[in-house]
Chain A
Amino acid sequence: MSGYRSTTKLALASSQPSVKTVSEQPAIQVSNLSIVFDTNRGQMIAVDRVSFDVAAGEFVCIVGPSGCGKSTVLNTIAGLEVPFEGEILVEGSPVGHPRPDIGMVFQQPHLFPWKSVRRNIAHGPRMLGKSAKEAGAIADDLIAMIGLKRFADAYPNTLSGGMQQRVAIARALANEPRVLLMDEPFGALDAQTRAVMQDNLLELRDRIKATIVFVTHDIDEAIVLADRVLIMSAGPGRILREIAVNLPRPRSSAILIEPTYLALKRDCLEVIRAEGLRAFNQSDSS
């Protein structure tokens, strides 16, 4: 997975203070975001007055049960979910339509089946007006970074689920987005592949400068990856608690047995259990 070519970049990136820098302006500012869906049983409040900031270079995970609106929040930041109330600023400017400085990785890889790995990754740069040669060079760099050189000319249907998702990540990075949004990208993978992918992502993250917002329902995944975890509740979606993850970096999935890690996990679980109980009692009485 790691090559000689990348180690220099890695050293460069880690020598810069990446996480704790508080720049004058957060990369993402979400204020009073509410999203209401029209269903056949009337209006449903999916997300209720959610506010949070993400600092430049920060890695934030949003955790919550399915249906809590965490994916909807992400899609809204991406500019894919249009009607919403409140304000979302990414890099200082309001969102409302997809922007090339915002990259997105979905739960399914959604690779273009008719394009080879190289052409899939080169798609973004091509669409932004780069020549085929430039786009190809960008793609080749990223292919080396995700360790799929042997599969550069393969078509997606010949790759495993984990490989496909690596290509999807590389494809999202090809436009050098300032903000990378990830919607349960490892949710469809088996446990072993998922652990490897988490380590890969942390490694990759050291080399790119993007701010990352990562949605998952897996608390372990959130704590391993994030600088900060936002815990959401369901029906309507709200942010219950914000937990800073002060575990040292570089991290790997090996921290899963550290005492400090376990303490953090207990905090998260308590919040989630209390909320689950509340939701259960509420649905019981209504």
Chain B
Amino acid sequence: MEIGAEAIVQNQTPKRAAVTTGADRPGRRPSSGRFRRLNVLVGVLSIPLFIILWELTSRSGIVNMVLFPPPTVVAAAVLEWMRSGQFFWDVAASLYRVTAGFLLGSALGVLLGILTGQFPVVSSLLSPLFQILRPIPPIAFVPIVILWFGLSEAGKLFLVVWGVFFTVWLSTHIGVQKVDRGLIRAALMLGTPRRQMLQEIILLGALPYIVVGLRTAVSISFYTLVAAELAGTFAGVVYRIEIAQQNLQTGQVMGGLAALGLISFIADRLFAALAERTVWWR
């Protein structure tokens, strides 16, 4: 029956659509196709055009080439960085900090988010505290982290965990609270024991929110990485940028920025792909 109803609707709408398009815009179609092709072309050219313009500007003499080196110089600096073997260790150190901090911060965030979302008493105890601490930018903790941890890895980890935790906690907390009460009632009527409600209904119901929080936390972990490495360390992509800045190796500085951007971009895309599989029913 529903199929029949759909067929009726389908029979009607195209006719109506045909009437309207036939009446008021017969000449638009081909030009909109041309526009689309133009958009694709411009999109492909976007980055090459930018790089060419950059190269020309740097070499034109309008700007100081030492402070604003052309892309070719930046590329040479990056190649040199790779050849020296430092690149690998810098990337490894940074990735380790981001990954460890992200995993630890997320685990804590999800755990406490479930507790505060599920149990009003825990929420009354912890939520006010978290809401006061959450708005303080993690970067502002750098001085005290140096006092507490010196230049150790523990301090770096602390900063990234701190940054990641609050975002993941909040999204998990909201996700748990937003689980459709109708689903819980339905599950109760089907004989789901209350102690199994968490794994059967609440975790899965909150999952879409948790995944959004985790994805935001990926970029936050990179922000806090910058603060952590600027606070002083012995290897890392941002550390290398800072050293190059002190030596006035502007090409290396820009190369470092590009590397950081690329790593962060790949991390975000990987996570987006992973997220799509995590929420498999969408």
Residues of A within 8 A of B (CB): 78, 80, 98, 100, 102-104, 106, 108, 110-115, 123-124, 127-128, 155, 157, 160, 162-163, 168, 171-172, 174-175, 190, 192-193, 196
**B residues less than 8 Å from A160 (CB atoms):** 2
> Is B196 touching A112 in the complex (CB atoms < 8 A)?
no
> Is B280 touching A193 in the complex (CB atoms < 8 A)?
no
> Is A80 touching B189 in the complex (CB atoms < 8 A)?
yes
Q: Does B1 contact A (CB under 8 A)?
A: yes
Q: Does B120 contact A (CB under 8 A)?
A: no
User: Among the interface residues B1, B185, B200, which one has the most CB atoms of the partner chain A within 10 A?
Assistant: B1
Q: Does B276 contact A (CB under 8 A)?
A: no
**B residues less than 8 Å from A110 (CB atoms):** 180, 182-183, 185-186
> Is B281 touching A113 in the complex (CB atoms < 8 A)?
yes
> Is A128 touching B191 in the complex (CB atoms < 8 A)?
yes
CB distance from A127 to the nearest CB of B (A): 4
CB-contact partner of B280 in A78, A114, A171, under 8 A = A114
> Is B185 touching A127 in the complex (CB atoms < 8 A)?
no
A138 to B198, alpha carbons, bound, how many Å?
A: 25
Can you spell out 23 A-B residue pairs with CB atoms less than 8 angstroms apart?
A: A78-B189, A80-B188, A98-B191, A108-B182, A110-B180, A112-B183, A113-B281, A114-B280, A115-B281, A123-B187, A127-B200, A128-B191, A155-B281, A157-B281, A168-B186, A171-B190, A172-B190, A175-B190, A190-B5, A192-B1, A192-B5, A193-B5, A196-B1
A192 to B180, alpha carbons, bound, how many Å?
A: 28
CB distance from B76 to the nearest CB of A (A): 52
Other A-B pairs beyond A104-B185, A115-B281, A128-B191, 15, CB < 8 Å: A80-B185, A80-B188, A80-B189, A98-B191, A100-B191, A104-B189, A110-B180, A110-B183, A111-B186, A113-B281, A114-B280, A124-B190, A127-B187, A171-B186, A192-B5
> Is A193 touching B1 in the complex (CB atoms < 8 A)?
yes
> Is A102 touching B196 in the complex (CB atoms < 8 A)?
no
Query: DSSP majority for the B interface?
Result: helix
**A residues less than 8 Å from B200 (CB atoms):** 123, 127
User: Among the interface residues B2, B5, B186, B189, which one has the most CB atoms of the partner chain A within 10 A?
Assistant: B189
> Is B2 touching A163 in the complex (CB atoms < 8 A)?
yes
> Is B185 touching A106 in the complex (CB atoms < 8 A)?
yes
CB-contact partner of A124 in B182, B183, B191, B207, under 8 A = B191
**B residues less than 8 Å from A168 (CB atoms):** 186
> Is A123 touching B189 in the complex (CB atoms < 8 A)?
no
A174 to B188, alpha carbons, bound, how many Å?
A: 14
A160 to B200, alpha carbons, bound, how many Å?
A: 24
Residues of B within 8 A of A (CB): 1-2, 5, 180, 182-183, 185-193, 196, 200-201, 204, 207, 280-282
A175 to B182, alpha carbons, bound, how many Å?
A: 19
User: Among the interface residues B180, B191, B280, which one has the most CB atoms of the partner chain A within 10 A?
Assistant: B191
User: Among the interface residues B180, B192, B193, which one has the most CB atoms of the partner chain A within 10 A?
Assistant: B192
> Is A127 touching B1 in the complex (CB atoms < 8 A)?
no
Closest to B181 in A: A110
Closest to A160 in B: B2
User: Contacts A112-B201, A155-B281, A196-B1 hold; do A127 and B182 have CB atoms under 8 A apart?
Assistant: no
> Is B2 touching A104 in the complex (CB atoms < 8 A)?
no
**8 residue pairs, one from A and one from B, having the closest CB atoms:** A124-B190, A100-B191, A110-B186, A110-B182, A104-B189, A98-B188, A127-B191, A196-B1
A88 to B75, alpha carbons, bound, how many Å?
A: 80
**A residues less than 8 Å from B207 (CB atoms):** 114
**B residues less than 8 Å from A157 (CB atoms):** 281-282
**A residues less than 8 Å from B190 (CB atoms):** 100, 123-124, 127, 171-172, 174-175
A128 to B200, alpha carbons, bound, how many Å?
A: 14
CB-contact partner of A175 in B5, B186, B191, under 8 A = B191
**B residues less than 8 Å from A114 (CB atoms):** 204, 207, 280-281
CB-contact partner of B189 in A103, A112, A155, under 8 A = A103
A127 to B266, alpha carbons, bound, how many Å?
A: 42
**A residues less than 8 Å from B187 (CB atoms):** 112, 123, 127
Closest to A200 in B: B1
CB distance from A8 to the nearest CB of B (A): 26
CB distance from A147 to the nearest CB of B (A): 11
**B residues less than 8 Å from A127 (CB atoms):** 187, 190-193, 196, 200
